[in-house]
Amino acid sequence: MKNNLKRLRGNYGLTQDELADQLDVSRQTIISLEKERYNPSITLAFKLSRIFSCTIEDIFIYEED
């Protein structure tokens, strides 16, 4: 699933470590999300949308195969 996580994180001036701490996940999880190797749980997606004050759809772009 494509996402805008890296761009949003940069716009908010957050490092991967800082975002991981806010979400209570590892930095590796953030790296995997940004490289589109990992799709988040719905709970994690909601937490991200709250941090960035946007909708889940603003962060993640779903494309059917």
Tell me the pTM.
Answer: 0.91
DSSP 8-state assignment for residue 39: P
Could you say which DSSP state residue 3 is in?
Answer: E
CATH ID of 2-55, from 1.10.260.40, 1.20.1630.10, 3.90.79.10, 1.10.10.10: 1.10.260.40
Element (H, E) at 13: none
Q: What is the pLDDT of residues 27-43, one digit of tens each?
A: 999 999 999 999 999 99
Residue 64, pLDDT > 80, answer no
Q: How far apart are CA 9 and CA 63, in angstroms?
A: 22
Tokens of 9: 């994180």
Domain coordinates in residue numbering, the chain: 2-55
- Determine the Cα–Cα distance for residues 13 and 41; give it in Å rounded to an integer: 24
Q: Which of the four pLDDT bands, split at 50, 70 and 90, describes residue 26?
A: very high
Closest to 44 in 3D by CA, of 14, 62, 13, 22: 22
